[in-house]
């Protein structure tokens, strides 16, 4: 079989016709026999280019409202025959089947239709049958057929046709085939996931059409990629390309700040996926200053995020700090001029976008899949279990601390006061270690822990944490509860005038 294949005939049947004109014109100039159907046939005729209807090959019209046009042995025989197989070639002659060297077919826009909110029947009608079959057949037989399955490849096809005068190498045909199977597999995944929103079959499928190679992974010796549509979530205004670790921190930042959507101005600083500073104030300037005070050492090289527009005054403060990424829903013109003075600083505008409902991570020889933790502790559901009840301001601080705790690596303890993160103990193997670490850190930055509050992501198995907390002045505690020794912690709080509320919800984050 020859490595190079001259295109003498083409079947063209597409939904998206943008950019198709120059290709059809080039094929015509090369003397290629063109077959087509329906709207594409009319499009080609309107270009004053000769085209043969597929019906002339099959002797069957388009039937069932256009559901069946190309599903016929004469069409698929012309695509699937092997040029080096004598019996295949004899059958082509015997059944008067034309050879088809090029197939240009795309698919009905199923995903776009679903995303538009269309009803079930309209969505089902956009499940392509003939198109997907033609793509699979042409891609399978790449040794003899060139398959073009997306308008995104029109430009590449045009270049191939013009540069080689209609002769296509085996390498090029195989490359186009790989793209075709990527498109077909993505399409089938989208259809399955549409059905599985109601059927709930025990199967997990993901597919991403967009991907970018990163500079490296977590470390320079690791290769890294991001698969997804970053531009759907952010406008990148300035700075270097985001790294693997940048993306993880950005993900942690936007998930944390989602807890404070439509709240008073709130600013957070994250390092290694955990908040090292967070404050809520009456201005974003004050929120940033107090967030930074939580841990100005860890803030170096961190990711900064605001829930409201960043103004000039705030940007001037930020500009004195080395940080990797700044995220906000908007920036004043003056703020942007200041923040973009550092050429590598990444400036992102966060758009309104939908988080995935599931969280997926690799594990052993498979993946773990779970629902996203959408539960946020609120005042209506917390239960006071001590004789002393928290004040209104303490309740505000408890819920504030709980939101931070939910987005901090377990085991974790969060200390807060006046809607400011004082310190947290993150990712410790012992809850006591987490608390001691938080206390040491808060005192190191000269915070007064008197009348502060403590949040824990899980219950206290022993009363040791509340004892340690009480001795440094912490006066209110929020925790899930559920330990068989809850009564011991409650008893200590009652004896020492500490209020405690239980949420009934654990927020582990491993």
- Which parts of the chain sit beneath pLDDT 50? 1
Residue 371: CB atoms within 10 A of its CB come to 9
Does residue 140 have an active-site annotation? yes
pTM, entire model: 0.86
DSSP code string of 86-106: HHHHHHHHHTTPPP--EEEE-
* Helix, strand, coil percentages, rounded to 5, for the chain: 40, 20, 40
Does residue 165 have an active-site annotation? no
Exactly one of 8, 167, 272, 342 is catalytic; which is it?
A: 272
**Residue whose entry in the numeric block shows the structure tokens 């850190």:** 441
Omega prior to 411 cis, within 30 of 0: yes
pLDDT computed for residue 1 by the predictor: 44
Residue 313: CB atoms within 10 A of its CB come to 18
Exactly one of 140, 236, 286, 342 is catalytic; which is it?
A: 140
pLDDT per residue as tens digits for the range 2-15: 588 899 999 999 98
Task: Let me know the angle formed at the C-alpha of 206 by 202 and 208, rounded to the nearest 5 degrees.
Answer: 170
150, 23 in Cβ contact below 8 A? Answer: no
Query: For residues 151-184, b (16+ Cβ closer than 10 Å) or e, as one string?
Result: bebbeebbebbeeeebebeeebbebbbebbbebb
CA distance 237 to 242: 12
CA 242 to chain centre: 15
pLDDT computed for residue 60 by the predictor: 78
CA distance 21 to 151: 12
User: Would you tell me the crossing angle of helices 20-29 and 38-46 to the nearest 10 degrees?
Assistant: 70
pLDDT computed for residue 56 by the predictor: 86
pLDDT computed for residue 298 by the predictor: 95
Minimal CA–CA distance to 459: which of 492, 508, 419, 426?
508
pLDDT per residue as tens digits for the range 258-267: 999 999 999 9
Minimal CA–CA distance to 370: which of 227, 230, 273, 508?
508
């Amino acid at each position: 079989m020859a490595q190079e294949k001259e295109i003498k005939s083409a079947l063209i049947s597409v939904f998206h016709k943008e950019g198709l004109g120059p290709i059809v014109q080039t094929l015509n100039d090369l003397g290629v026999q063109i077959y087509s159907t329906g709207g594409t046939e009319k499009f080609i005729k309107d270009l004053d280019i000769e085209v043969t209807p597929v019906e002339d090959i099959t002797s069957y019209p388009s039937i069932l409202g256009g559901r069946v046009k190309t599903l016929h042995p004469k069409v698929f025989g012309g695509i699937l025959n092997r040029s080096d197989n004598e019996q295949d070639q004899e059958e082509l002659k015997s059944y008067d089947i034309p050879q088809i060297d090029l197939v240009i077919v795309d698919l009905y826009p199923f995903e776009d239709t679903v995303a538009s909110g269309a009803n079930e029947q309209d969505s089902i009608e956009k499940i392509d049958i003939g198109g997907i079959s033609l793509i699979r057949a042409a891609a399978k037989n790449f040794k003899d057929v060139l398959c073009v399955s997306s308008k995104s490849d029109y430009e590449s096809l045009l270049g191939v046709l013009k540069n080689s005068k209609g002769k296509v190498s085996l390498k090029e045909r195989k490359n186009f085939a790989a793209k075709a199977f990527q498109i077909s597999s993505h399409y089938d995944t989208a259809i399955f996931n549409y059905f599985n929103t109601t059927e709930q079959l025990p199967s997990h499928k993901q597919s991403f059409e967009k991907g970018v190679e990163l500079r490296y992974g977590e470390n320079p010796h690791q290769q890294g990629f991001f698969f997804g549509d970053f531009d759907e979530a952010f406008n990148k205004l300035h700075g270097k390309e985001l790294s693997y670790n940048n993306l993880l921190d950005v993900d942690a930042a936007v998930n944390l700040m989602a807890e404070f959507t439509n709240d008073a101005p709130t600013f957070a600083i994250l390092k290694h996926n955990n908040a090292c500073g967070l404050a809520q104030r009456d201005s974003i300037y004050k929120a940033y200053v107090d967030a930074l005070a939580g841990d100005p050492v860890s803030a170096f090289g961190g990711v900064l995020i605001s829930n409201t527009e960043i103004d000039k005054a705030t940007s001037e403060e930020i500009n004195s700090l080395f940080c990797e990424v700044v995220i906000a829903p908007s920036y004043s013109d003056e703020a942007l001029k200041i923040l973009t003075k550092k050429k590598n600083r990444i400036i992102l505008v966060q758009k309104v976008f939908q988080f995935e409902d599931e969280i997926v991570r690799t594990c052993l020889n498979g993946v773990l899949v779970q629902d996203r933790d959408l539960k946020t502790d609120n005042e209506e559901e917390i239960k006071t279990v001590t004789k002393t009840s928290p004040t209104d301001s303490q309740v505000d601080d408890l819920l504030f601390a709980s939101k931070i705790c939910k987005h901090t690596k377990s085991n974790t303890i969060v200390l807060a006061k006046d809607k400011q993160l004082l310190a947290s103990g993150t990712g410790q193997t012992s809850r006591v270690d987490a608390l001691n670490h938080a206390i040491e850190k808060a005192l190191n930055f000269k915070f007064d822990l008197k009348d502060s509050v403590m949040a824990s992501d899980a219950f206290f198995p022993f009363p040791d944490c509340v004892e340690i907390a009480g001795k440094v002045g912490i006066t209110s505690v929020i925790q899930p509860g559920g330990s068989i020794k809850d009564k011991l912690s409650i008893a200590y709080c009652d004896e020492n005038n500490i209020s405690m509320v239980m949420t009934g919800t654990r927020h582990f984050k491993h």
